[in-house]
Amino acid sequence: MSELQRFHVGPRLSEMAIHNGTVYLAGQVPDDT
């Protein structure tokens, strides 16, 4: 079975997840935009 790691988990989504060595990002933008 594959491992799923979640980071910065909120009530509706995680800001970042890692599954099978692939990183999935949600709405990540640089601070200096």
pLDDT per position as a tens digit, 1-33: 679 999 999 999 899 999 999 999 988 788 886
- Nearest Cα neighbor of 2 from 26, 25, 23, 18 is 18
**pLDDT attached to residue 16:** 93
Residue 22 CB partners (closer than 8 Å, separation 6+) = none
Is pTM, for the whole model, over 0.75?
no
Kindly give, in sequence order, each residue whose CB lies less than 8 Å from that of residue 11, ignoring residues fewer than 6 positions away.
Answer: none
Tell me what pLDDT residue 33 has: 64
